[in-house]
Each structure stands twice: as structure tokens, then as C-alpha cells.
Structure 1
Amino acid sequence: MEMKVENLSVARGGVPVLEGVNFTLSAGHVLILRGPNGSGKTTLLRTLAGLQPPIAGQVSADPEHITYGAHADGLKATLTVEENLRFWASVHGIGRIDAAVEGFNLTGLTHRPAGNLSAGQKRRLGLARLLVTGRPIWLLDEPTVSLDAASVGLFADAVRAHVAGGGAALIATHIDLGLKADTFDIGPFRANGERATSSQQRDRYADFDEAFS
């Protein structure tokens, strides 16, 4: 199980933001994605997750092996914590949610509607969904937003257990998670801001990009 990225170029709003990206994410490894705000980290993650097409290059990975955690928590507000997790577990064919509940300290919240949770609790529930997907490749965009130090520790523990079991994680973050990880800086791959795609490419990608903004 691995994700291999070769000569990948990605666009935001029809304008190239990254060009010639190459890396391999292998089982048992964590890769930290670095770059300033607006540099293209989210666009790259969306492309790797299959949410938008690349301009060029290819991503070699089984789509069924990938799960993507974006900025939004993606919760159903009227469902309880338990119901949210059971829904996602059923989607992915996973029978139990115990590890997810315990791993993100949600035991005392299982019967509370997600809409009544604090921002940090919602984030923990959103991240707990990772543990009920059964998918080995995690693509995560600033996963620790709204988390306190203790909850960041829970998340880091979940990542350690995931990679120890043969999984892999690509994480865009500005903080030190205390993980054994390599760093991938997207700075050298930033596209020339003065160069735009052809009008045909611009029309093709602009509408698609806006649908996921």
C-alpha cells in the first residue's frame, strides 16, 4: 500500500498553484506537508483525494484506500455522537465504533447531539471518523484546529497507532505533533503566479474548484 505522486500540477480557480510535485507516501510513514497559508496545501490534498482533477501528472493509489479530512467536521448536527459514528462505520462496512469513541475521549458524549458539542468536541468527533473508515491512507488538512493540548495528544496517538498498523498519513499542519515523520515542503513546487492556463483550461477548472471551496 502506497501513494505515489509523479510530476503533479494542480490549480485553484483555474490558475496553477503547484507544478511538478513528486513524492511517495509508504505504509508505516507520516509525511508532514509544509507551506505558508495560500500556498496550495489544501488544493494539493483535494487533488490527491480525487475531489478535483490535476492539470498534469498522476497519483498512483487505490481510491478505496484513501480518506480525506478537510477543514469542516462533516457532522450531522441532529444525530448523536454515537449515531454519527455508526453511520460512517456502516458506510465503510466497519462493525464497531468502540475504538473511535475511546480513542478520542467521547465516551461521556455518545448520546449528545453533535450540534450541541463544543468546537473542540466536534473536531474530536470529526477525527474519530477516521478510525471507522478502515482506510489505510489518511489525507488531513489542519486536523488539530479547535483542539486543546490534550486532544492534540489524542490525535497524535491515533496517528501513531494507525501507522504502526501499516497505515500512512499525509498531514498539513503548522504545529509540531511530536510524531516521527518526514517533512515535505511545497515551496519549491509553487507555480509562477504570472502564468495562467489556457482559456479552455481556465473554464474547465474554475467551475469545478468553486464547487469545493
Structure 2
Amino acid sequence: MLQASALCCVRGEREIFHDLSFSVGAGEWVHARGENGAGKTTLLKALCGLLRPSAGAVTWNGQPLGDIRDEYHRALAYLGHATALKDDMDAGENLRAACAIADAPPVRSIGEALRMLGLDPSDSAPVRTLSQGQKRRVALARLALTPANLWILDEPLAALDTGAVASVLELLDRHLGQGGSLVLTSHQAVDLSRPAREVWVGSMRENGVGESIGDGDSPRASA
């Protein structure tokens, strides 16, 4: 279980967010919401251990991230705004390189992962020739390969067409159905079969957590 406890982040003299507390366990997901620039990406980086919060703590299965860094990184798959792809490699080569870096056996074949995202495994075009949406799909195909239990995704649906969005939502649903955990940001509707816990970030509303009772819009509660 990922647990955030009384998180606070200050940048310069500006408080980005304060007193954020929530958890996400097996088969659960959190939707971090807020206006542009509210601090959602900062929150995700804190959850990944990429930056230290000004106050509060992030734990994985009850242990501080600093004490179990290697174990946590093996359990974590993070996708930020950048695709982190090698432009001179094709899609399949990028996925093979990602598997080698992860040093963990993929859960399915590279060809199957690409097809799940609507990509042709036989396409040998270098990634630099692909559209932004296609590059995003290649990056997302890495998720279809990883055995990581916790996925933290920053705007995973950005630059995707309707068909690709449906493929990604199916992938996320499958991950949750297999007992995985998910934290994401998205300005688009994320219609998954399991209800979300909403975490609101930023100054446009009080930092808070809302529990969803079903698909679509969920009730919201201040912290």
C-alpha cells in the first residue's frame, strides 16, 4: 500500500499544497485533480521519491521510501509528461531497451504490448518520425510489459485519439483487476470500472479527498 501522510510542499515562498493525506491499496486508484499549475506533477514526483516534501511522509507497505528505495523502484512504474524514448530506435527497440533497464522479465511479449496500444509491431520507423500521439502510445506500451504493482501516471491520456484512449483505459482496468494500484492525473474523463478516490490539489479549492461511489462524477469532500 502507498500511503501519503500530511504532505506539504513549498517552492520558494509559495505553498504548493499542504496536509494531503490518502492511501491507495491493491485494486485501488487515485485521481489527483486540480487546475493547471496547481501542483499535481509535484505531488506525483513526491510519491515517486523524486523530490522530498517540505513536510509529511510517503510510505510503501509501511516503510519510508528512503529506507526501501531499490525495493520501491522495482514495484513502481512512473510515466511523466516526457516519453523518455530514444528517437533513433523504433518502437520495439525502445521497449526491449526498457525491459533491459528494468532488469525484470516482461509479463507479455513486446508485440502483444504494442498491439494492445494499437501499434504495428513490424513498423521499423524510428520514433522521431512518429506523431506525438504515437510516441505517447509507445511510452504507454511499456506499462503493458512491466510487472510493477504501482503505476503513477502524469496525464496518460494526453495527445491520444479516441481509440487509443479506450485501449489505455482497458489496460488500466486490467491492471487494477489484477490487484495493481494506480495514481494518475488527467484533464480528461477517466472512466474505469472501479470507483476512484479523488485528491484535489492547489489553491483553487481546499486540498481534500473525495470518495467516488460509482462511474462518472463523484462526490467531493474537503479535508
TM-score of Structure 1 vs Structure 2, range by shorter chain:
0.7 to 0.9
With the length of structure 1 as denominator, give the TM-score of the two structures.
Answer: 0.83
Q: Give the drift of 1:102.
A: 1.9
With the length of structure 2 as denominator, give the TM-score of the two structures.
Answer: 0.79
Give the conservation status (yes or no) of the 8 Å contact 2:2–2:23: yes
Cα distance in 2, alignment partners of residues 88 and 73 from structure 1: 12
Cα distance in 2, alignment partners of residues 13 and 111 from structure 1: 46
Cα distance in 1, alignment partners of residues 140 and 11 from structure 2: 26
Alignment of 1:71 with 2:81, yes or no, is yes
Query: Equivalent residue for 1:55?
Result: 54
Once the two structures are superposed, the pairs formed by residues 54-203 of structure 1 within 5 Å of their partners are 54-61=53-60, 62-92=72-102, 93-95=104-106, 96-108=109-121, 110-179=123-192, 180-182=194-196, 183-186=198-201, 187-189=205-207
User: How many aligned residue pairs are there?
Assistant: 189
Identity of aligned residues (%): 32
For the aligned residue pairs, the C-alpha RMSD in angstroms reads 1.7
- For structure 2, list consecutive stretches of 5 or more residues without a partner in the other structure: 61-71, 209-223
Q: Give the drift of 1:132.
A: 2.4
- For structure 1, list consecutive stretches of 5 or more residues without a partner in the other structure: 191-213
Select the structure with the greater relative contact order (CA < 8 A; seq sep ≥ 6). 1
Moved more, 175-184 or 163-172: 175-184
Task: State the secondary structure of the residue aligned to 2:144.
Answer: helix
Alignment CA distance shift 1:70-1:22 (3 Å): same
Structure 2: which amino acid aligns with 1:70? Answer: G
